A and B are shown apart, each in its own frame.
Chain A
Amino acid sequence: EAQVTQNPRYLITVTGKKLTVTCSQNMNHEYMSWYRQDPGLGLRQIYYSMNVEVTDKGDVPEGYKVSRKEKRNFPLILESPSPNQTSLYFCASSPPFQETQYFGPGTRLLVL
């Protein structure tokens, strides 16, 4: 089944404790992206990657890192999480030359 998977789905952590949210897609998509969804703010793009070893900042990249060492995986790294990074995070991927995106199920993060 074609899908985008994220792990973990739920995470509670404390300020300053490094964490990684994984994202994987099995559709051989080149484009992958991370978003956060916050009440009243909609979806905001954090980082995106147009291909392996190519990453770019979205609208809200501060406090996040990403890497794209292989096509299927695009992990989101919070080196020193803070409470303002409490949010619902979505990973998405997109086929080449197509405008659509396929979203993962989301990861709900709470930073205490």
Chain B
Amino acid sequence: DQQVKQNSPSLSVQEGRISILNCDYTNSMFDYFLWYKKYPAEGPTFLISISSIKDKNEDGRFTVFLNKSAKHLSLHIVPSQPGDSAVYFCAARRMNRDDKIIFGKGTRLHILP
């Protein structure tokens, strides 16, 4: 049973426009949600996170929105830049329980010139 789902394997966005990456989860016990970015041949790097008690967190061009009632979060990148082309993983963490971390399957973002 997949607890964290990224239903779009890939996404193409024009440079300068907004990129929106989506993630759904099934378990209400997660207390943090995180986004990681991964380039080929490198380990994932942390991008932004949000606590389950918040509905929005912003860091520069990156904003994460959390809709708890829908068990849905999204990552907005504005404006999209060529260096944003990468695989993005959504992850959920249960720090207040067993501290397991569950990742989605990832979405490959292509920024088009």
Binding site for B on A (CB under 8 A): 4, 31, 33, 35, 40-45, 48, 50, 56, 58-59, 90, 92, 97, 99-106
Contact = CB atoms under 8 A, between A and B. Distances in A.
Contacts of A97: 95
A59 B32 contact: no
Contacts of B32: 99
Contacts, number: 60
Nearest to B32: A99
Contact of B102 (A59, A102, A104): A59
A41 B95 CA distance: 23
B102 A45 contact: yes
**Chain A, interface SS category:** strand
Given A35-B103, A42-B89, A48-B99, A101 B42 contact: no
Q: How large is the interface on B (under 10, 10 to 19, 20 to 34, 35 or more residues)?
A: 20 to 34
B43 interface: yes
B101 A45 contact: yes
A56 B98 contact: yes
Interface of B: 6, 32, 34, 36, 41-46, 49, 51, 89, 91, 93, 95, 98-106
A92 B99 CA distance: 14
B43 A105 contact: yes
A48 B103 contact: no
Contacts of B99: 31, 48, 50, 56
A42 B104 contact: yes
A13 B104 CA distance: 29
A65 B98 CA distance: 19
Nearest to B105: A42
A33 B36 CA distance: 15
